[in-house]
Homo-oligomer: A and B are copies of this chain.
Amino acid sequence: MAAGWQQLAVAPLFFLLLLLLLSGVLTLPLGGENKRTPTCGYESCHATKPNMLNVHLVPHTHDDVGWLKTVDQYFYGDRNDIQHAGVQYILDSVVDQLLKNPDRRFIYVETAFFYRWWKRQSSGEQQTVKQLVNEGRLEFVNGGWCMSDEATTHYSAVVDQMTMGLRFLNETFGPCGRPRVAWHIDPFGHAREHASMFAQMGYDGFFFGRLDYQDRTRRMLAQEQELLWRASDSLRAANGILPNGYNPPEGFCWDQSCDDPPIRDDPDLEDYNVDDVVMRFLAIAKSQATAYKTNHIIMTMGSDFQYENANLWYKNLDKLIRYVNARQGNGSRVNVVYSTPSCYLQELHRANLTWALKTDDFFPYADSAHDFWTGYFTSRPALKRYERVSNSHLQTCNQLEVLGGPVSRNGPFGEGNSQTMKKAMAVAQHHDAVSGTEKQHVANDYARRLADGWRHCQVLVSNSLAALTGSSAKRIYCDNLNISVCPLTESSKKFSVSVYNPLARPVTWPVRLPVNGTAYTVSDAKGQPVDCQVVPVSRATREVRKNRGFAINELVFQVQAPPLGFSTYSVSLLQDGPPPAAATKHRAPTAIQNKVFTLRKSEIGTIVSLSNLETGQSISLTQNFYWYNASDGNNSESDQPSGAYIFRPNSSTPFVISQRAKTETVQNSVVQEVRQWFAPWVSQVVRLYSDSRALELEWTVGPLPIDDSLGKEVITRLDTSIKTCEMFYTDSNGREVLQRKKDFRPTWNLKQSEPIAGNYYPINSRAFIKDDKDQLTVVTDRSQGGGSIHNGSLEIMLHRRLLYDDVRGVAEPLNETSAIFPEGLVVRGRLLLSLERPPAAADAHRPLAQEAVLQPLLTFVDGGLSPDTRLEFSGLQAALPPAVHLLTLTQWDGDSVLLRLEHQFQSRESRVNSQPVTVNLQKLFSTLEVIGVSEMNLSANQWKDEMIRFAWTPQTDSEAPPPKASGDASSTWEVTLRPMEIRTFLLRVALR
């Protein structure tokens, strides 16, 4: 990176960057301390032989950042009774073994582990490792904090975790520590958005191992296991390369965890087997070569937590290479080398061929006819929600760390930090974390880490708000407002609530606080009264909160909060007494409505229609809850049960939980809601706030009964009059939207063998169905699985409780209980429904979904506020344009911050918003002066203009190439964003 720096002198950013260089701001994050000319990266690859089949042996370990054991248990090798795995020993051992033979190579992937190990090494050991990295003998690939899940993660958190891992590598090792390839060998299906992100992070290639078995068969025959992936409709494209899984070929696993025969090359001992080993290897290499295009093939020599005793692997690999290559003297045309994925990729690139093009994604993933990995889209819905809420908390924490200045980290409430939360969120992105495919005790550990991170953030947030408000009054956090628990509001007669909005535009937000009074006054930051209502706590809420709270009522009002800022509302008890008699009505009207929507319900208590008053749309809409009976693995077609990974209903027809719902209706000036009660374990509130542009369906599901010994997978299903023609649409990691068609895959002729599970897709933030007139969009509050099985229908899986393990390793049935819910977990969540005309739908669902992701943070102060307290604040000079989302604002180091701005609309998605938009960085912040800027790649480990990736040629490409990446037209400070573009800036800032 230090060398690259010089080139910047002739770049447009010259003057500014030179300034930054002199000030030293940017040198630390981007430069390693080792000044020797490194020979890492592509230059360090072993020579291959052009006229031979070259076999690239890639020694690697796949270290799950939590799965059967917690991340720290994995690191230390604790609880080896569960699984033998100790990452500290893997790294010890690999380094020792690399030193023994300079030809040897190793790749390492998960920085969460590497970081833990690195900080325990002596400086001498660290120096040794740096040398190995500089010589390309130890190479980092992927390099994020973890190898994130692709089906259940939100891009915001993935970008964060990748940034954290890559930053550590960059700061520790400099350019030689920068991974050249992405490496997602284990995630259970692959999201197009991940490919898009990896392209924007500068990776030259993307390797993975799991794809549908039918897809793989076709690709092997067609030699399309190497391919180009156009990963965005709006942006251009990473290339993805598929090796054959991430395990070694059969018979060649020499890890301590394997039983394959070692190479026995002492002729004095029994069973000399060199000839046999060489022959078997040559046969496998030649067979594998038939399914790939070039005279280079890759073999992944390693697997889960392997190389704890690397000597076993390397000793035998050394021999394998020696003996196989010795055959060249006898005319063999196979050449074996130690290699890395990047060295293999370089050879593919040198081959200068054209490659198959892929534009959709790799969901759903099936490894056999009845084994669709679509259950984990929903598994552990509570954890999935907690992860999503935590991301919101973390972004708020990051923003307030910047806005509050250094006092945030060490202020009146003590030492706070965002780092703990960042790490907790980063490990939670792992493909056995938020995915829900870990053991229960590990899920608990992820949650505990998030809670711990939030505790550290709370101190920071309190410090920051103290600075921004000028008041050091103690701030109370109520994390259980979704179940009406908040000891302060339940007992206090006078308190204030500050609403911090992490979005770059103002929001209106409903607030519901548990109270025991029957009448309150609420006033806003300007002292104006705010319309508020008291409604009784519902039966469902009382049941789910148990003895954690005792409020009988909820105080409901709507608040507004400025961009990147807060507004403070004061609440005072007016009188104590019984709730207004009319608050809930058992004989309810047949409709509820607000300014936008009218929702009708039937006599049996269920929804029947939805109308948009503004657009004049009206659709029939019925909604109900159903459960699929999970296969127990005991049937004639397959012995596959439903489990943490796999969704496999034993019938395509779900059981309705109840045809009819008991209802209560609440209608007042703030909110209108129908409280539906379907069963002791399923209830819902259908809700319209007066100002809302979405219909809220707040579902409460659980504990799922299992006394009938039947595993249950509960869905909510929306059946409409929309003519869907077997299509529906889902987002990819919360960003772009993909079209899904029933029983269809764009790139191969699907033989559908699971009519439900085989039509399920991940829904990270939204799904929609539409026809020419109507688009019904559902915005979720977490990742869920769903599908459109029938015409006009959209179903979303909410909760799962299963009695069998699905034999993918986790070795536990997904049967969640907890200390609070020993009889089975109860989960509550919300769907937000938007009915719009299709051309304008994105204008509604894009901001709606961002509001669901980055929700306001409420903090409370008991009693009255001192008069000089600042009640309202915005960190921005003005709201950003509607198309622009402020994705990241976080402290980078002493006086620099990382900023990501995102165009949140796809091309052609919105008539008004799918246009390039320009923002002036100098005019962005209200309290920060931006005194330097330099653009970086998405993961902030490379200057944007140094990011030069391999160019690849697709076999066929009907589309025109996209316009050039945004040049910054008028001035350094004006940045233009094209649809879906994310731009990443390192800003040097000072408090104004």
Any B CB within 8 A of the CB of A84: yes
Closest B residue by C-beta to A117: B266
A86 to B79, CA, bound (A): 24
A375 to B417, CA, bound (A): 68
Copies of this protein in the complex: 2
Is the pair B309, A271 in contact by a Cβ cutoff of 8 Å? no
A116 to B265, CA, bound (A): 12
A586 to B78, CA, bound (A): 75
Q: In whole Å, how far is A618's beta carbon from the nearest beta carbon of chain B? A: 55
Chain A positions 130-189 with a Cβ under 8 Å from a chain B Cβ: none
Chain B neighbourhood of A77, CB < 8 A: 262, 312
Any B CB within 8 A of the CB of A80: yes
Any B CB within 8 A of the CB of A283: no
Chain B neighbourhood of A72, CB < 8 A: 264, 269-271
Chain B neighbourhood of A312, CB < 8 A: 77, 86, 89, 308
Is the pair B89, A261 in contact by a Cβ cutoff of 8 Å? no
Chain A positions 65-99 with a Cβ under 8 Å from a chain B Cβ: 70, 72-73, 75-81, 84, 86, 88-89, 92-93, 96
Chain B neighbourhood of A84, CB < 8 A: 256
Partner pick for A76 among B81, B262, B445, CB 8 A cutoff = B262
A92 to B311, CA, bound (A): 8
Any B CB within 8 A of the CB of A315: yes
Chain B neighbourhood of A79, CB < 8 A: 259, 261
| With known contacts A116-B266, A256-B84, A309–B89 Cβ distance under 8 A | yes
Is the pair B311, A269 in contact by a Cβ cutoff of 8 Å? no
Q: In whole Å, how far is A577's beta carbon from the nearest beta carbon of chain B? A: 50
Partner pick for A261 among B78, B93, B259, B269, CB 8 A cutoff = B78
Is the pair A262, B86 in contact by a Cβ cutoff of 8 Å? yes
Is the pair B315, A89 in contact by a Cβ cutoff of 8 Å? yes
A80 to B86, CA, bound (A): 20
A75 to B76, CA, bound (A): 29
Any B CB within 8 A of the CB of A258: yes
Mark each residue of chain A from 289 to 311: 1 if its CB lies under 8 Å from any CB of chain B, else 0. Answer: 00000000000000000001101
Any B CB within 8 A of the CB of A587: no
A512 to B562, CA, bound (A): 112
Chain A positions 178-204 with a Cβ under 8 Å from a chain B Cβ: none
Any B CB within 8 A of the CB of A120: yes
Is the pair A258, B92 in contact by a Cβ cutoff of 8 Å? no
Chain B neighbourhood of A266, CB < 8 A: 116, 120
Q: In whole Å, how far is A282's beta carbon from the nearest beta carbon of chain B? A: 21
A84 to B255, CA, bound (A): 11
Chain A contact residues: helix, strand, loop or mixed: loop
Chain B neighbourhood of A76, CB < 8 A: 261-262, 264, 269, 271
A266 to B88, CA, bound (A): 12
A5 to B84, CA, bound (A): 52
A752 to B86, CA, bound (A): 48
Chain B neighbourhood of A86, CB < 8 A: 262, 312
Of A81, A264, A308, most buried by chain B (CB within 10 Å of CB) is: A264
Of A93, A120, A261, A270, most buried by chain B (CB within 10 Å of CB) is: A270
Is the pair A89, B311 in contact by a Cβ cutoff of 8 Å? yes
Is the pair A70, B309 in contact by a Cβ cutoff of 8 Å? no
Closest B residue by C-beta to A261: B78
Is the pair A309, B256 in contact by a Cβ cutoff of 8 Å? yes
Chain B neighbourhood of A80, CB < 8 A: 258-259
Closest B residue by C-beta to A120: B266
Is the pair A308, B259 in contact by a Cβ cutoff of 8 Å? no
Q: In whole Å, how far is A267's beta carbon from the nearest beta carbon of chain B? A: 11
Closest B residue by C-beta to A78: B261
A77 to B258, CA, bound (A): 10
Q: In whole Å, how far is A24's beta carbon from the nearest beta carbon of chain B? A: 28
Chain B neighbourhood of A78, CB < 8 A: 261-262, 264, 271
Chain B neighbourhood of A96, CB < 8 A: 96, 311
Is the pair A308, B256 in contact by a Cβ cutoff of 8 Å? yes
Chain A positions 41-85 with a Cβ under 8 Å from a chain B Cβ: 70, 72-73, 75-81, 84
Chain B neighbourhood of A92, CB < 8 A: 311, 315
Closest B residue by C-beta to A84: B256
A986 to B951, CA, bound (A): 78
Q: In whole Å, how far is A452's beta carbon from the nearest beta carbon of chain B? A: 10
A579 to B237, CA, bound (A): 98
A104 to B671, CA, bound (A): 73
Is the pair A311, B93 in contact by a Cβ cutoff of 8 Å? yes
Q: In whole Å, how far is A253's beta carbon from the nearest beta carbon of chain B? A: 10
Q: In whole Å, how far is A183's beta carbon from the nearest beta carbon of chain B? A: 25
Chain B neighbourhood of A88, CB < 8 A: 262, 315
Partner pick for A269 among B75, B81, B270, CB 8 A cutoff = B75
A312 to B92, CA, bound (A): 10
Q: In whole Å, how far is A738's beta carbon from the nearest beta carbon of chain B? A: 39
Mark each residue of chain A from 663 to 688: 1 if its CB lies under 8 Å from any CB of chain B, else 0. Answer: 00000000000000000000000000
Q: In whole Å, how far is A177's beta carbon from the nearest beta carbon of chain B? A: 22
Closest B residue by C-beta to A81: B259
A502 to B88, CA, bound (A): 60
Q: In whole Å, how far is A752's beta carbon from the nearest beta carbon of chain B? A: 39
Q: In whole Å, how far is A242's beta carbon from the nearest beta carbon of chain B? A: 30
A312 to B84, CA, bound (A): 12
Mark each residue of chain A from 519 to 551: 1 if its CB lies under 8 Å from any CB of chain B, else 0. Answer: 000000000000000000000000000000000
Chain B neighbourhood of A75, CB < 8 A: 269
Is the pair B70, A270 in contact by a Cβ cutoff of 8 Å? yes
A262 to B84, CA, bound (A): 12
Mark each residue of chain A from 113 to 125: 1 if its CB lies under 8 Å from any CB of chain B, else 0. Answer: 0001000100000
Mark each residue of chain A from 235 to 274: 1 if its CB lies under 8 Å from any CB of chain B, else 0. Answer: 0000000000000000000001011011010100111000
Chain B neighbourhood of A93, CB < 8 A: 309, 311
Closest B residue by C-beta to A256: B256
Chain B neighbourhood of A311, CB < 8 A: 89, 92-93, 96
Chain B neighbourhood of A315, CB < 8 A: 88-89, 92
A186 to B252, CA, bound (A): 34
Chain A positions 311-366 with a Cβ under 8 Å from a chain B Cβ: 311-312, 315
A311 to B120, CA, bound (A): 15
Q: In whole Å, how far is A79's beta carbon from the nearest beta carbon of chain B? A: 7
Closest B residue by C-beta to A82: B259
A258 to B81, CA, bound (A): 8
Is the pair B116, A269 in contact by a Cβ cutoff of 8 Å? yes
A312 to B85, CA, bound (A): 11
A839 to B70, CA, bound (A): 75
A339 to B70, CA, bound (A): 35
Chain B neighbourhood of A120, CB < 8 A: 266
Chain B neighbourhood of A261, CB < 8 A: 76, 78-79
Sample of 16 more A-B contacts, CB < 8 Å, known A79-B259, A120-B266, A270-B445: A72-B271, A75-B269, A76-B261, A76-B271, A77-B312, A78-B271, A81-B259, A84-B256, A86-B312, A88-B262, A89-B312, A92-B311, A92-B315, A256-B256, A256-B308, A256-B309
**CB within 8 Å of B: which residues of A?**
70, 72-73, 75-81, 84, 86, 88-89, 92-93, 96, 116, 120, 256, 258-259, 261-262, 264, 266, 269-271, 308-309, 311-312, 315, 445
* Subset of 17 A-B contacts with CB under 8 Å: A73-B270, A73-B271, A76-B264, A76-B271, A77-B262, A78-B261, A78-B264, A79-B261, A84-B256, A88-B262, A88-B315, A93-B311, A116-B266, A256-B309, A270-B445, A308-B309, A308-B312
A-B pairs with the 6 shortest C-beta distances?
A: A309-B309, A81-B259, A72-B270, A80-B259, A72-B269, A76-B262
